[in-house]
């Protein structure tokens, strides 16, 4: 089973949507196997957003991501990266489909509720960036056989 990273962003925390967001993932059948609240630093943001660090809008992104602490989640499940990305919806909340997290709670690109990993390779790197090995837990969900068929459980 795959693991992936989700960052619950400051705007979501300010709006009191933490539980709603986590509930969406759990209701889908994804397992929370790591969760913590952290304050992002300039260094961590420069590493995480290295692909846009030279863009003129990066200071605005950095300021938004440091407005409050964030919550980082490690989610586990079959095709977790893809499923999480679909549940999140389009990056621009105004373009995200109704029923997705961004489609239901966001009107913005800047304040788009969550970050999700976009590939297995990225998820592995991002999880290593935000979690130590001893902060991610492997435990059996008692209801796993009601989420996946017997041949899907690994």
Q: CA-CA distance, 130 to 135, in Å (whole number)?
A: 10
115 is catalytic: yes
Q: How far does the chain reach from its first CA to its final CA, in angstroms?
A: 7
Q: CA-CA distance, 148 to 154, in Å (whole number)?
A: 10
Q: CA-CA distance, 140 to 76, in Å (whole number)?
A: 11
Q: CA-CA distance, 154 to 151, in Å (whole number)?
A: 8
Q: Are 137 and 34 in contact (CB under 8 A)?
A: yes
Name the active-site residue from 51, 82, 85, 115.
115
Q: Provide the annotated active-site residues.
A: 115
């Amino acid at each position: 089973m795959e693991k992936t990273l989700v960052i619950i962003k400051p705007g979501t925390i300010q709006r009191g949507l933490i539980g709603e967001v986590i509930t969406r993932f759990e209701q889908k059948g994804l397992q929370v196997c790591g969760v913590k609240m952290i304050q992002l630093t300039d260094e961590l943001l420069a590493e995480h957003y290295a692909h846009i660090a030279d863009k003129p809008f990066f200071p605005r992104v950095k300021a938004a991501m440091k407005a409050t602490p964030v919550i980082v989640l490690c989610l586990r499940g079959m095709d977790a990266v893809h499923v999480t990305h679909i549940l999140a919806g389009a990056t621009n909340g105004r373009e995200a489909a109704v029923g997705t997290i961004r489609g239901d709670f966001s009107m913005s690109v800047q304040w788009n509720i969550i970050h999700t990993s976009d590939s297995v390779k990225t998820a592995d790197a991002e999880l290593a960036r935000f979690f130590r090995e001893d902060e991610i837990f492997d435990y059996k969900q008692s209801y796993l056989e009601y989420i996946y068929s017997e041949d899907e459980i690994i």
